[in-house]
Amino acid sequence: MIEYALKIIMKNGMEGIVKEDNIKNKQVRFYNGRIGIIKEWDDKTMNIFMAKGSKTVSIELDNPSKRKIEETIEKNKKLMKLLSSSEFYGIEKNKKYKNNKIFDKDVLKNEKMISIAEESINYGGKAGIVFSSINKTIIANTNGIMEKDKNSLCYLSVRSFYKNSSCHEVSCSRSIKNVDAGVTSVAHEMAKKGIKAKKGKEGRYNVIFSPLAFANLISNVATFYSAFYVDAGYSFLTEKIGEKVASEKISIYDSGIAEDGMASSKFDDEGIATQKTTIIKNGILKNYIHNSTTAHKYKTRSTGNAGIVAPQPWNTIVLHGNSNFDEMVDEIKEGILITNLWYTRFHNYRAGDFSSVARDVAFYIKNGEMIPIKNIRVSDNMERILKNVEMLSKETKQIFWWEVENPVFTPYAMVRDVRITTS
Amino acid sequence: MQDMAEYALNISKADYTEIRIEKVFEQGIAFVNGEFKGIESNERKGFSIRIIKDNAMGFYFSNDFRKAKIKEGIEKAIKMAVTRKRHKINLSEEKMEEGEDIVKGKEESIDKKIDYLKDIDKIASGYSRSIFYNDELMEKYYANSEGARIYSKLPRISLHYLITVSNGRVEQMSREFGNSGGWEMVKEWNVVEHIKHDINFLKKLIKEGKKAPRKGSVILSPYITGLIAHESCGHPFEADRIMGREAAQAGKSFVKPSFIGKKYADENVSIVDDPTIKKSYGYYKYDDEGVKARRRYLIKNGIVNEFLHNRETAYEMGVKSNSAARASYGKEPIVRMANTYFMPGSYTLEEMIEDIKEGVYMKTYVEWNIDDRRYNQKYVGEEAYIIKNGEINGIAYHPVIEITTPKLYNSIDAVGNELKFYPATCGKGDPMQGIPVTTGGVNLRLREARIK
Say yes or no: B367 contacts chain A, CB-CB below 8 A. Answer: yes
A42 vs B69: CB contact, 8 Å cut-off? yes
Contacts 24+ apart (CB under 8 A), B174-180: B174/B366, B175/B364, B176/B422, B176/B423, B176/B424, B177/B423, B178/B281, B178/B423, B178/B436, B179/B279, B179/B280, B179/B281, B179/B423, B180/B103, B180/B105, B180/B154, B180/B155, B180/B156, B180/B278, B180/B279, B180/B280, B180/B281, B180/B283, B180/B436
Which SS3 state, helix, strand or coil, does residue B89 take? Answer: coil
Q: What pLDDT score does A323 carry?
A: 97
Nearest to A44 among B40, B63, B452 (CB): B63
B248 vs A402: CB contact, 8 Å cut-off? yes
Q: What pLDDT score does B191 carry?
A: 97
pLDDT digits (tens, 9 = 90+) for B174-201: 999 999 999 999 999 999 999 999 999 9
Q: What pLDDT score does A81 carry?
A: 84
- How far B302 CA lies from chain A's nearest CA (Å)? 22
Interface ipTM above 0.90: yes
Confidence band of B298 (pLDDT split at 50, 70, 90)? very high
Residue of B80, B335, B374 for testing the chain A interface, max A β-carbons within 10 Å: B80
Contact call for residues B178 and B436 (beta carbons, < 8 A): yes
* Distances, alpha carbon A201 to alpha carbons A190, A376, B374, in Å: 21, 8, 20
Q: What pLDDT score does B84 carry?
A: 66
**For residues B129-157, average pLDDT:** 97
**For residues A71-92, average pLDDT:** 88
Q: What pLDDT score does A179 carry?
A: 98
CB-based contacts of B190, cutoff 8 Å, min separation 6? none
CA distance B35 to A310: 13
Chains A and B form CB pairs within 8 A to the count of 242
CA nearest to A356 within chain B: B369
CA nearest to B429 within chain A: A402
CB-based contacts of A71, cutoff 8 Å, min separation 6? none
B33 vs A79: CB contact, 8 Å cut-off? no
Mean pLDDT score across all residues of chain A = 96
* Chain B residues with CB-CB distance to A343 below 8 A: 369-371
Q: What pLDDT score does B387 carry?
A: 98
Q: What pLDDT score does B446 carry?
A: 97
pLDDT digits (tens, 9 = 90+) for A154-207: 999 999 999 999 999 999 999 999 999 999 999 999 999 999 999 999 999 999
pLDDT digits (tens, 9 = 90+) for B240-296: 999 999 999 999 999 999 999 999 999 999 999 999 999 999 999 999 999 999 999
Beta strand A369-374 with A353-358: parallel, antiparallel or unpaired? unpaired
Nearest to A62 among B63, B170, B431 (CB): B63
Confidence band of B207 (pLDDT split at 50, 70, 90)? very high
pLDDT digits (tens, 9 = 90+) for A318-343: 999 999 999 999 999 899 999 999 99
Q: Which of A208-212, B83-87, B220-224 has the lowest mean pLDDT?
A: B83-87
Mean pLDDT score across all residues of chain B = 96
Confidence band of A54 (pLDDT split at 50, 70, 90)? confident
Q: What pLDDT score does A194 carry?
A: 95
Nearest to B83 among A40, A110, A234 (CB): A110
Q: What is the DSSP string of A38-89?
A: EEEEEEEEEEEEEEETTEEEEEEEES--HHHHHHHHHHHHHHHHHSPP-S--
Proportion of chain A above pLDDT 70, given as a percent? 100
DSSP run (H or E) holding B191: helix B191-208
Is B330's pLDDT higher than 90?
Answer: yes
Confidence band of B38 (pLDDT split at 50, 70, 90)? confident
Is B85's pLDDT higher than 80?
Answer: no
B332 vs A39: CB contact, 8 Å cut-off? yes
Measured at the CA of B211, the angle between CA A351 and CA A422, to 5 degrees, comes to 70
* Chain A residues with CB-CB distance to B334 below 8 A: none
**For residues B144-167, average pLDDT:** 97
CA nearest to B407 within chain A: A423
pLDDT digits (tens, 9 = 90+) for B39-77: 999 999 999 999 999 999 999 999 998 999 999 999 999
pLDDT digits (tens, 9 = 90+) for A385-410: 999 999 999 999 999 999 999 999 99
B66 burial via Cβ count (<10 Å: 0-12, 13-18, 19+):
exposed
pLDDT digits (tens, 9 = 90+) for A91-125: 998 889 999 999 999 999 999 999 999 999 999 99
Single-letter amino acid code for the residue at A298 = Y
CA distance A132 to B169: 46
Which residue segments constitute the domains of chain B, with CATH numbers given? 2-208 (3.30.2290.10), 215-450 (no CATH)
Measured at the CA of A402, the angle between CA A401 and CA A404, to 5 degrees, comes to 60
Q: What pLDDT score does A94 carry?
A: 81
B172 vs A350: CB contact, 8 Å cut-off? yes
Is B317's pLDDT higher than 90?
Answer: yes
Q: What pLDDT score does B80 carry?
A: 85
CA distance A128 to A34: 10
The rounded Cα A261 to chain-centroid distance in angstroms is 10
* Chain B residues with CB-CB distance to A351 below 8 A: 170
* Distances, alpha carbon B178 to alpha carbons A67, A88, B190, B243, B281, in Å: 34, 30, 12, 32, 6
Query: How would CATH label the architecture of A2-185?
Result: 2-Layer Sandwich (3.30)
> Domain locations in chain A?
2-185, 197-422
Confidence band of B83 (pLDDT split at 50, 70, 90)? low
- How far A321 CA lies from chain B's nearest CA (Å)? 30
Is A80's pLDDT higher than 90?
Answer: no
A40 vs B61: CB contact, 8 Å cut-off? yes
Proportion of chain B above pLDDT 90, given as a percent? 95
